Amino acid sequence: MKLALLNDFAEEGWFSMDLLAEQLRNQLAANSRRWNCHAQFIRPRFLRTVSALENQRLLRPFHGTMRNVDRLLNRWCTYPRMVRPHRTAFDAFHVCDHSYSHLVHSLPEDRTGVCCCDLDAFRCLLSPDAEVRPKWFCGMMERVLGGMQKAAKVFCISKYTLQQIQYHRLVPSERLVYAPLGVTDEFHTDASHDACYLSDFAKDGLSSRKIVLNVGSCIDRKRIDVLLEAFAELKRHNSNVLLVQIGGVWTERQWKMIRQLRLAEDVVQYRGVSRNTLAAFYRQANAVIQPSQAEGFGLPLLEAIACGANVVVSDLEVLREVGGDAALFVDVGDVPKFAAIANKILAGEVTIPGEVKQQQAGQYTWVRHAEIVATTYQQLRLSSNQQAA
């Protein structure tokens, strides 16, 4: 069976989506004979139609807008146009990111599946009063949702996401497939090479201070405001602590909070670190705090417990699902409780046994995710052949 994988443009910069597509491709390639599935990426080159002009002096202030225009042009024009000629070249098509589900409209829907991570993109349709968006944006999301609803299969990375789709009656239950994510090989408890991976960051005083770690973007639902306020409270009891944020970019509002809370000398932020380096940060962190108010899976939580870290996270249904007994949970937005639990972790008063963490993390593998995807498309192909006969 020839399976086409349609993943995000690399220029979008969505690390989790790139990781998902990469791991799926790697596992399918490693087990191609076992599952009789040969996967191939098909994705057009990202065209810089508008942002190519950004170096012109008069247009520099519009850099962000120009980039977003190019993103829209590539997503909505270049990509759909490119995939149409491939409709007869593959047995099945797998859209790796549900926000690209509009591509289903350009593909044979009875042989196309979509991986759905969460319903955030559709909040403006599901809760229009709470998520107010322009009409043009809502129109695009209707097109995206319509594509996902046409797909033969929708792969849900968490039981929570699957249940939310059922609750809103977006896709019939028989078309939903539970396909949890996994942990890559870099995330383990062996810290013997951590000094090497973290050597480039020695100037920030990592070795001389207790590390509080947060991983992910800095978008609103990650509740960086809670993180900063909790860290400020934590610092009152632990003067020698450093907040390390990996993966995001502070917004102007967050920078303002950092200055108001007098944390400028106590926070550092890194982007683009390797998985080996990220794993080393997890292992060396004294505490990991993830105060999100919404998640589709919680990959940083899973990676952290796989590395043996002590993690305190928001008490969300999906994070309970992924973290199990291997994490500590606090009500969403409860700054004093986040600070109190983190303080107990730093003091050694609260910890979770390593075997509990390893048992929980061991339930999630990329091999399992890839096998579910491969076998589902095989069954879909068999059913289609039987109907044709």
Residues 157-173, mean pLDDT to the nearest whole number: 97
Q: Contact, 107 vs 149, CB < 8 A?
A: no
Structure tokens, 127: 């809760």
C-alpha dihedral over 20, 23, 26, 29, to 10 degrees?
Answer: -60
Q: Say whether pLDDT at 66 is over 80.
A: no
Going edge to edge, which strands form the sheet with 38-41?
Answer: 38-41, 2-6, 92-95, 112-116, 153-156, 176-178
CA distance 368 to 221: 29
Q: What is the DSSP string of 261-274?
A: TT-TTTEEEE-S--
The per-residue pLDDT for 58 is: 47
Residue 381 is predicted with a pLDDT of 86
Instruction: Tell whether 55 and 117 lie within a shared domain.
Output: yes
What is the CATH number for 227?
Answer: 3.40.50.2000
* Mean pLDDT, the chain, whole residue set: 93
Total structural domains in the chain?
Answer: 2
pTM of the model: 0.91
The answer on 313 and 245 residing in a single domain is: yes
Q: Same domain, yes or no, for 264 and 373?
A: no
Q: Is the pLDDT of residue 309 over 50?
A: yes
**pLDDT on residue 387:** 67
CB 136 within 8 A of CB 155: no
Percent pLDDT > 90 in the chain is 84
- The residue type of 92 is A
* CB-CB contact of 110 with 384 (8 Å): yes
> Residue 224: is its pLDDT beyond 50?
yes
- Two structure tokens written together for 207: 């070795």
Q: Look up residue 173 and give its two tokens.
A: 């239950």
pLDDT at 158: 97
Residue 56 has pLDDT above 70, yes or no: no
Across the range 70-75, mean pLDDT stands at 91
Q: Is the pLDDT of residue 125 over 50?
A: yes
Q: Where are the beta strands (DSSP E) in 186-307?
A: 210-215, 241-246, 267-270, 287-290
More confident call, 343 vs 57: 343
The answer to whether position 249 is within a domain reads yes
Q: Which of 14-18, 139-143, 185-189 has the lowest mean pLDDT?
A: 14-18
Q: Count Cβ atoms below 10 Å from residue 70 Cβ, excluding itself.
A: 21
CA distance 27 to 50: 37
pLDDT for res 69: 86
Judged against a pLDDT cut of 70, whether residue 54 lies above it is answered with no
Enumerate the β-bridge partners of residue 4. 40, 93
Using the CB atoms, write b or e for 116-147: b if 16+ within 10 Å: bbbbbbbbbbbeeeeeeeeeeebebbeebbeb
Residues 119 and 208 in one domain: no
Residue 87 — φ and ψ, nearest 5°? -60, -30
SS3 361: helix
pLDDT of 55 > 60? The answer is: no
> Residue 269: inside a domain, yes or no?
yes
Q: What is the pLDDT of residue 130?
A: 87
CA angle in degrees (0–180, nearest 5) for 23-325-339: 100
The answer to whether 242 and 265 have CB atoms below 8 angstroms apart is no
- % residues pLDDT > 70 (the chain): 95
- Residue by residue, DSSP assigns 72-118 as HHIIIIIHHHHHGGGTTT-SEEEESSGGGGGGGGGS-GGGEEEEE--
Residues 176, 202 within the same domain: no
pLDDT value for 203: 84
Confidence class of residue 326 from pLDDT cuts 50, 70 and 90? very high
Beta bridge partners of 243: 212, 267
Residue 74 and residue 52 in contact, taking contact as beta carbons nearer than 8 Å: no
Per the listing, tokens 């940060």 go with 281
Amino acid letter, residue 29: A
**14, part of any domain:** yes
Q: Treating both helix axes as pointing N-terminal to C-terminal, what angle do 299-306 and 354-361 enclose, rounded to 10 degrees?
A: 130
Residue 232's closest CA among 314, 348, 335, 346? 335
189 is a domain residue: no
For the segment 336-343, the average pLDDT, to the nearest whole number, is 97
Residue 187 domain flag: no
Task: State the residue range of the domain holding 350.
Answer: 194-361
pLDDT exceeds cutoff 70 at 113: yes
Check whether residue 298 and residue 379 sit in a common domain. no
Same structural domain, 131 and 250? no
